[in-house]
């Protein structure tokens, strides 16, 4: 199981409030903490904990936050030979406000992630050539993510693009993307329709499939996940849990999906597995501390099936 993450990293600065503040409102927060953030970093850690051999391509700043990231990757046994450290700008940073109902708002300053270019992909092409699945997201320049998908496709790899943060994609050519993995809101933004649109998930997925991507796997929260293709669509049931913190669940889902596919599982089985891992991560606070091992995920799946039966 070899997964190459086309990465992003941002130091996460977090605090908790009783509720999410309104525009212009000041609330008193508590429990301030600094933790690891960035979708690429999250995906790399989760895939590694699930037993994949993970390589990471990306850019961080030559600062304390960047050093923390390097230390994390070494601790999680992630290959960072494709990482570039720059003195041009700071490591990315994110501010996160969480409430006691497991909701959050996030603002990210990309920093060094904005310097991640095609040349970084070319420089680390050997990591893509050596992997099974290439996984990218959009906290880096869109053209870099799409170029990574092209290189992955040219190398005969399975390519997954998580279009988050959401951007308009309906006019892009996504023929090098095997699987596009938005949530419901991201899917609508990517398709160029209102986030409050009454269009069905299937109609929105059809718009996205016209970009040339192979399949759309849409995460639907407590409704599970939908798999859409030109051949048809089907739903994968969720694993019902009591949510403690949903932050990082999408990154967990994508990393788990990539790992399962790299392990030779079918797409349907891989989505089932990713649903379980993402549900389990919602039982703990934060991102990296909430990511479980393969053994824990398997135990959760077995215990859940026993309860259901």
- The residues assigned a catalytic role are 251
Quick one: tokens of 71?
Answer: 């230390």
Burial class of residue 184, CB neighbours in 10 A (0-12, 13-18, 19+): middle
Report d(CA 143, CA 127) in Å as an integer: 19
Give the β-pairing of 225-229 and 232-236. Answer: antiparallel
Phi-psi region of 301 (alpha: psi -120 to 50; beta: other; left: phi over 0): alpha
Place of tokens 């999906």: 257
Quick one: tokens of 125?
Answer: 């092409």
Report d(CA 134, CA 125) in Å as an integer: 11
């Amino acid at each position: 199981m070899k997964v190459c993450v086309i990465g992003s990293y941002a130091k996460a600065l977090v605090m908790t409030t009783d509720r999410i503040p309104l525009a212009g409102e000041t609330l008193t927060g508590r429990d301030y903490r600094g933790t690891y953030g960035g979708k690429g970093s999250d995906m790399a850690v989760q895939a590694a904990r699930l037993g994949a051999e993970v390589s990471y391509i990306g850019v961080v700043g030559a600062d304390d936050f960047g050093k923390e990231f390097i230390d994390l990757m070494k601790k999680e046994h992630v290959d960072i030979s494709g990482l570039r450290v720059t003195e041009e700008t700071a490591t990315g940073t994110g501010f996160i406000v969480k409430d006691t109902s497991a909701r959050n708002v996030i603002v990210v300053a990309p920093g060094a992630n904005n310097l991640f270019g095609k040349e970084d992909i070319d420089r680390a092409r050997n990591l893509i050539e050596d992997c099974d699945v290439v996984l990218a997201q959009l906290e880096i320049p869109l053209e870099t993510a799409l170029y990574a998908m092209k290189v992955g496709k040219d190398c005969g790899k399975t390519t997954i693009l998580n279009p988050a943060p959401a951007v308009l994609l309906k006019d892009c050519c996504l023929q090098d993307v095997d699987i596009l993995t938005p949530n419901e809101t991201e899917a609508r933004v990517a398709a160029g329709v209102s986030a409050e649109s009454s269009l069905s998930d299937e109609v929105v997925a059809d718009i996205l499939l016209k970009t040339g991507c192979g399949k759309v796997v849409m995460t639907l929260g407590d409704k599970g996940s939908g798999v859409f293709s030109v051949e048809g669509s089907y739903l994968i049931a969720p694993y019902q849990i009591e949510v403690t913190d949903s932050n990082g669940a999408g990154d967990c889902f994508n990393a788990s999906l990539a790992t399962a596919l790299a392990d030779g599982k079918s797409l349907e089985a891989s989505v089932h597995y990713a649903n379980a891992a993402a549900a389990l991560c919602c039982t703990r606070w934060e991102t990296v501390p909430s990511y479980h091992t393969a053994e824990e995920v398997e135990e959760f799946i077995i215990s859940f099936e026993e309860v259901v039966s």
